[in-house]
């Protein structure tokens, strides 16, 4: 039984024996089986480069994938990955803009906490540590077996312009 295209992509990602250059080449080989404008193939190619630290190249693939129309779950993932990469490259403003847009819908795909984590990182990189901590604590609070309400209140207090923490 032959593997599907996505199963072969997943197998490349799972292969711990591959180095970064080999992983990019393997992803590119499988991606080449699809049209060069296929959004999922572009997304995977961007991810391979991002993972390897070839961030400028990753940005171009992510942008092309998003423009080509990714399915919604992968669109959220691509937005998170693009925002993270942009933050790493120093474009914090666009990173924040992308993540703010995703905050509205990421809950539908179970990615709300991931969006919040990367949003908090972008806020911290933007010199807004109290707001970053507030976002991170608000995302964490529902997962706490105890003190959830208190942590949420502290998160709200951090966001307050007249805070006294």
Split at pLDDT 50, 70, 90, the class of 160 is confident
| DSSP conformation letters of 119-152 | HHHHHHHTT-HHHHHHHHHHHHGGG-SS-HHHHH
Task: Map out the domains of the chain with their CATH numbers.
Answer: 1-70 (1.25.40), 71-164 (1.25.40.10)
pLDDT of residue 161: 66
**The tokens 């990615």 sit on which residue?**
111
Distance CA 116, CA 141 (A): 12
- Maximum Cα–Cα distance for the chain, whole Å? 64
Q: Is the pLDDT of residue 69 over 70?
A: yes
Rounded average pLDDT over 82-93: 98
Q: Is the pLDDT of residue 138 over 80?
A: yes
For the record, the structure tokens of 87 come out as 């933050």
What's the pTM value of the predicted model, to 2 decimals?
0.92
């Amino acid at each position: 039984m032959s593997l599907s295209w996505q199963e072969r992509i997943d197998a490349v990602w799972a292969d711990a024996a591959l180095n970064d250059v080999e992983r990019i080449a393997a992803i590119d080989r499988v991606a080449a089986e699809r049209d060069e404008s296929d959004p999922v193939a572009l997304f995977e190619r961007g991810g391979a480069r991002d993972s390897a630290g070839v961030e400028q190249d990753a940005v171009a693939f992510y942008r092309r994938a998003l423009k080509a129309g990714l399915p919604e779950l992968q669109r959220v993932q691509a937005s998170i990955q693009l925002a993270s990469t942009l933050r790493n490259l120093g474009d914090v403003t666009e990173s924040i803009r992308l993540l703010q847009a995703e905050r509205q819908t990421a809950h539908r795909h179970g990615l709300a906490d991931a969006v919040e984590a990367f949003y908090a990182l972008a806020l911290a990189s933007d010199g807004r540590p109290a707001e970053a901590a507030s976002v991170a604590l608000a995302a964490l609070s529902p997962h706490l077996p105890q003190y959830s309400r208190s942590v949420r209140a502290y998160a709200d207090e951090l966001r307050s312009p007249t805070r006294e923490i």
